[in-house]
Chains A and B, each alone.
Chain A
């Protein structure tokens, strides 16, 4: 009985610790609005330049004057063919490329936020703040969990900002339904947690912040290109499709599109598959993270 009470007491303490450190993380972030703004610039540029200039779905639509000059049976065949290509690439829903990309960028900004999580720990170590935490009688896990949670909240907020900015520029939302949106949010959270934990593990192992930077630069663009963020998987060469299928970013982008763009065409089985894969990824990365943290935070 006494033991149980003590345990309750200590788990309550851990929650306080995580809460305080997460709030610290977010306060630090909000106290530097220019950093938030700068984080958003890259995905916004992608949307603006790529999404608007490179109108993939526009390529496959047939100009009306061309249709007028052809006999009806030819236009019908062309129409069927083009529609076939479009639905093979983008599904049956009426999606314009700008919307396709904007939603993809919500996943990308979560990736960036997740990658930043490691840097935040790196700086705490470099500036000595980590030692201050380690000298205090808090649970070592609280430090890691709060970093990852902080990163996840940042990811959510930033992807919401992307969504809000893209709306006036022509993002056409076709919401599938409440549970689909909630599932997509959960997927986004799991993805951010996974990436954040991965980066924390790398930071703990690598020690130097230069390594950390290198890993970040190594991961961000390849992960973005080897996914369905910019182009549908069907448009990729076979080998790249295989890579993209192992990239959690693909499933994050897909679940968001299912929920936010597909409307009635959203597929329940696709959403469940995405969610399952993202859960599995997060679970694996978390296990690795906990293991690495347990080993390295106890220095010797």
Chain B
């Protein structure tokens, strides 16, 4: 298998001593979608910035497409595309002009650029807006234009930094569709960062969970979820009968792996939730326990994140600059 990105013991310490990335290592295979999942400030954007030659690493090695990001920065730039976190479409230019500037920066011959731009605008459903100034575009349209611009020079490796940040749920799903289509139609490796669990889960072949500059877990979404050891069943009960222990009510066996009591809720870890659930309810009823409600939780990356970092992803913690961006997007929409 060809490795498109090789990262070995990569460090980034900013002036002032902030350790943004602390010795991470990973490889990305050719043709896969690889996600860096973590909360804001985890080091995702720093990692992407190093890989796209925007900043220099403090220590360690990073190869992109076989080229060293420090020593062969120009070669790296020729084969990568970046969809940055901020929507950086040029507002004062039309969609078409935006693409033409981009094409010229990569020295794509004019005739080729025109053909590709037409195809990409078609692909991104932006054809009818091509000659409108980008300031009239909605958030989703900007993202699509951004994607089109990043694809114009047919990069081997495409970096997407928080591709759906600031977009509402519907638009987000639409952007996922486009990303999936790009992946199907182009021979391209995609590396993205996100702090949306669902995004990482739905899109990626492999996910690296990153927190405080370190990779806490790495694997396919399925592997990561399987590592939790199966489903979780939560049973809310009226009260446990006097004198009966939890173990006697739900014995740990081949099916039940772990039982915990949290208030009135019994939390059961099990390999196959669907099969275990009826048995548990029947068994509890037969022992005289009134079951008020049951909840079957399928393992999610959210649970995985919880497992490896001991906390939920801090989605509520948003940086000042991000607030600025989100507001900027809202302002643009309002116009």
Interface residues of A (CB under 8 A from B): 13, 16-17, 20-21, 24, 27-28, 31-32, 127-129, 131-138, 298-300
Contact = CB atoms under 8 A, between A and B. Distances in A.
Contacts of A129: 88, 90
Contacts of B81: 135
Interface string B87-99: 1101011000100
B99 to A, nearest CB: 12
Contact of A27 (B54, B87, B97): B97
A137 B80 CA distance: 9
B92 A27 contact: yes
A-B residue pairs, 9 tightest by C-beta? A128-B86, A20-B104, A137-B77, A128-B88, A28-B92, A300-B56, A136-B105, A137-B78, A135-B82
B114 to A, nearest CB: 15
Nearest to A31: B92
Contacts of B112: none
Interface in B110-166: 133
Interface on chain B toward A: helix, strand, loop, or mixed SS? loop
A133 B105 contact: yes
Given A20-B105, A137-B78, A131 B92 contact: no
B55 A17 contact: no
Given A131-B82, A132-B82, A17 B104 contact: yes
A28 B104 contact: no
A136 B77 contact: yes
Given A20-B105, A300-B55, A135 B88 contact: no
B84 interface: yes
Contact of A135 (B54, B90, B92, B104): B54
Contacts of A299: 54-56
A16 to B, nearest CB: 6
A125 B232 CA distance: 47
Contacts of A31: 92-93, 133
11 contacts: A20-B104, A24-B97, A24-B101, A27-B92, A28-B90, A32-B92, A127-B88, A132-B88, A136-B105, A137-B77, A298-B56
A17 B104 CA distance: 7
A43 B165 CA distance: 43
A27 B93 CA distance: 7
B53 interface: yes
B107 interface: yes
Given A28-B90, A28-B93, A31-B133, A134 B105 contact: no
Contact of B107 (A13, A128, A300): A13
Contacts of A135: 52-54, 77, 80-82, 84
Contacts of A134: 53-54
Most buried by A among B80, B104, B105, B106: B105
B108 to A, nearest CB: 11
Nearest to B100: A20
B101 A20 contact: yes
Contacts of B97: 24, 27
A21 B104 CA distance: 9
B101 A128 contact: no
Contacts of A133: 105
B106 A137 contact: yes
Nearest to B82: A135
A209 to B, nearest CB: 12
A31 B90 CA distance: 12
A240 B50 CA distance: 51
A134 B78 CA distance: 11
Nearest to B107: A13
B67 to A, nearest CB: 11
B94 to A, nearest CB: 9
Nearest to A142: B105
A13 B104 CA distance: 9
A137 B153 CA distance: 11
A50 B87 CA distance: 45
B86 A24 contact: no
Contacts of A27: 92-93, 97
Contacts of B106: 136-137
B78 A128 contact: no
Contacts of A16: 104, 107
A132 B53 CA distance: 11
B325 to A, nearest CB: 9
Interface string B36-63: 0000000000000000111110000000
Given A20-B101, A31-B133, A300-B55, A131 B93 contact: no
B287 interface: no
Contacts of B101: 20-21, 24
A42 to B, nearest CB: 22
Contact of A128 (B85, B92, B102, B105): B85
A94 to B, nearest CB: 45
Contacts of A132: 82, 84, 88
A129 B56 CA distance: 19
B74 interface: yes
B59 to A, nearest CB: 12
Contacts of A24: 90, 93, 97, 101
Given A128-B88, A132-B82, A132-B88, 17 more contacts: A16-B107, A20-B101, A24-B90, A24-B93, A24-B97, A31-B92, A128-B85, A129-B90, A133-B105, A134-B53, A135-B80, A135-B84, A136-B102, A136-B105, A298-B56, A299-B56, A300-B55
Contacts of A128: 84-88
Contacts of A127: 86, 88
Contacts of A136: 77, 102, 105-106
Contacts of A137: 74, 77-78, 105-106
Contacts of B54: 131, 134-135, 299
